Amino acid sequence: MRSLLPALLFALSFAATNPALAQAPQPSRIEEARALIQTNGVGDVFEALEDDSIAVRHTASGLTCHFYGGETRIDLIAFSQVARSDDVGCNSEGENRSQTLYATRYMPPITVDRAMGDAIAGIRNRFSDARPTPALMSMSTEGLSEPLIQHFLVTVRGEQWMTSAYIVQDGEWIIKLRYSQQATNEELMAAQLEAGAIFALAQVEIQN
C-alpha cells in the first residue's frame, strides 16, 4: 500500500493540473526542496528528502509533505516562534484546490475529538454556509489508526467546493489535514479519494 499511495497522488495531481513538459534543464527535486526550506526559513525544523516529488520532512514528528508540481503557491510554516518544532504546517494551493498538513504537539495535550471540534469551528467561521456532507468512500491501511473525518460543502466565488478535515493522533502528535477542492456533486467521490490518499500517505510515512 505504501508504494501505491505516492503513485496514486502523482496520477491524481497530473490529471488535475496537466502541466507542460519542461523544455530546459531543471533543478533536481531535492535541490528544490532545499530551496523551499531556505526560502521559508524553516531549516531548523524541516529537512529535504530524495524523492520524485519535492519532498520535505518535519524532523520531530516525521510528517512528510510532497509537492507534485502545478501548485500556484507552496509554503512551509512554523507557527510558534517559541517552540518552533511543536506546531508546523505544509501548505499548497492550486487553481481549484488547497491543502495544509499540520503536525502539532499540544501542551497540555488535547484529544482528537477536541482537535476535530476546533477544526470544524474554524471551517464554520471561515465559511458561513458550510453544511456537512457524508463520506462517499473510505480508505483504510493495515496498521494505521482510523482518522476522524468531516466533509463540508461550501461556496467559494459562487461555486461549490468540498472542504474536509482529517485528524489522527500519533504518539504525542496531532496530525491534521485541511483539504479543499472545487467539486460538483458528481466530483465529490473523486475529491474525497484524493484527500483520503493524501492523509493515508502522511500516516504511512510517519510510521516509517
* Number of domains comprising the chain: 1
Residue whose grid cell is 482529517 = 166
Q: Buried b / exposed e across 24-55, counting CB within 10 Å, b at 16+?
A: eeeeebeebbbebbeebebeebbebbebebbb
Residues 16-33: tens digit of each pLDDT: 445 444 455 678 999 999
Instruction: State pTM to two decimals.
Output: 0.87
pLDDT band at 82 (very low <50, low <70, confident <90, very high): confident
**Backbone phi, psi, residue 20, to 5°:** -65, 145
Residues 91-113: tens digit of each pLDDT: 999 989 999 999 999 999 999 99
Residue whose grid cell is 501548505 = 91
Question: Which residues form the domain of 66?
Answer: 4-207
**Average pLDDT along the chain:** 91
Cβ neighbours for 87, distance < 8 A, ≥ 6 positions apart: 78, 79, 80, 102, 103, 104, 105
Task: Return the closest-CA partner of residue 150 out of 126, 179, 128.
Answer: 179
